[in-house]
Homo-oligomer: A and B are copies of this chain.
Amino acid sequence: MPKVGMEPIRRAALVEATIHEIGAQGTLDVTVGAIAKRAGMSSALAHHYFGGKEQIFLAAMRHTLRLYGAEVNTALRAANTPAQRAEAIVKASFANSNFRPEVIAAWLNFYVLAQTVPDAKRLLTIYQARLRSNLVHALRPLLRARADEVASRTAALIDGVYLHQSLVKSKAQHSQAAEDVLAYLDFELKETM
């Protein structure tokens, strides 16, 4: 039992536990105690490391968004043409790591958190801006003036698919979801060529 340098380990465990707990309950109505228990520690320690429930939630958000961002970046780096770039972004959005029931539920609840907690709103806004920016960048060479419009629509479509998926607790069919959005993109792109 190491007694030093526990902080990053504990924090990571709590963040992980928070996402799973929110996912399991489908609500932000989870107790710090439940999160801490799942993370294998006392609720007092959770408070010690994060200062409060809200900060725990925010850390979980940051973690989720960071993971998502990393997924997108990795996918982008493997893409060579504009079309591949756009496709990469969409596929990353529905990658296995993101499109799991608990993450979908967490995502939905982050939107709720954003209604109340300014920092949460800020995080989500940044995420949306980055997503749109990535899409515009990929689509500009192909769609010119329409790139903005299509990017916005694609972004909304992605979130809409997530929202729908939150109702279907059955194993999330990520390939299906990705295909759905990709079909739309293809449609737009074929049109132009």
Residues of A within 8 A of B (CB): 25-29, 105, 108-109, 111-112, 114-116, 121, 124-125, 128, 149, 152-153, 155-161, 163-164, 166-167, 180, 183-184, 187-188, 191
CB neighbours (8 Å) of A105 from chain B are 115
**Would B152 and A156 count as touching, CB distance under 8 A?**
no
A112-B26 Cα distance, complex, nearest whole Å: 7
Kindly list 9 other residue pairs between chains A and B, CB separation below 8 angstroms, not including A156-B163, A156-B180, A159-B159: A25-B115, A27-B112, A105-B115, A108-B115, A115-B166, A121-B167, A159-B163, A159-B164, A187-B191
CB neighbours (8 Å) of A184 from chain B are 153
**Would B157 and A164 count as touching, CB distance under 8 A?**
no
Task: Please pick, from B149, B161, B167, the residue contacting A160 in the complex, using a CB distance under 8 A.
Answer: B161
CB neighbours (8 Å) of A26 from chain B are 112, 115-116
**Would A114 and B27 count as touching, CB distance under 8 A?**
no
A18, chain B: closest CB distance, angstroms: 16
Chain B: which residue is nearest A183 at the CB level? B149
A70, chain B: closest CB distance, angstroms: 23
A124, chain B: closest CB distance, angstroms: 6
A132, chain B: closest CB distance, angstroms: 10
A163-B107 Cα distance, complex, nearest whole Å: 11
CB neighbours (8 Å) of A124 from chain B are 167
**Would A161 and B156 count as touching, CB distance under 8 A?**
yes
A33-B114 Cα distance, complex, nearest whole Å: 24
**Would A112 and B112 count as touching, CB distance under 8 A?**
yes
The 10 closest A-B CB pairs, nearest first, are: A26-B115, A160-B160, A156-B160, A159-B160, A159-B163, A156-B161, A26-B116, A157-B157, A157-B160, A156-B164
**Would B109 and A112 count as touching, CB distance under 8 A?**
yes
Interchain Cβ contacts under 8 Å between A and B, 15 examples: A26-B115, A26-B116, A108-B108, A111-B163, A114-B167, A125-B167, A153-B157, A153-B180, A153-B184, A155-B164, A158-B160, A159-B159, A160-B161, A163-B163, A187-B191
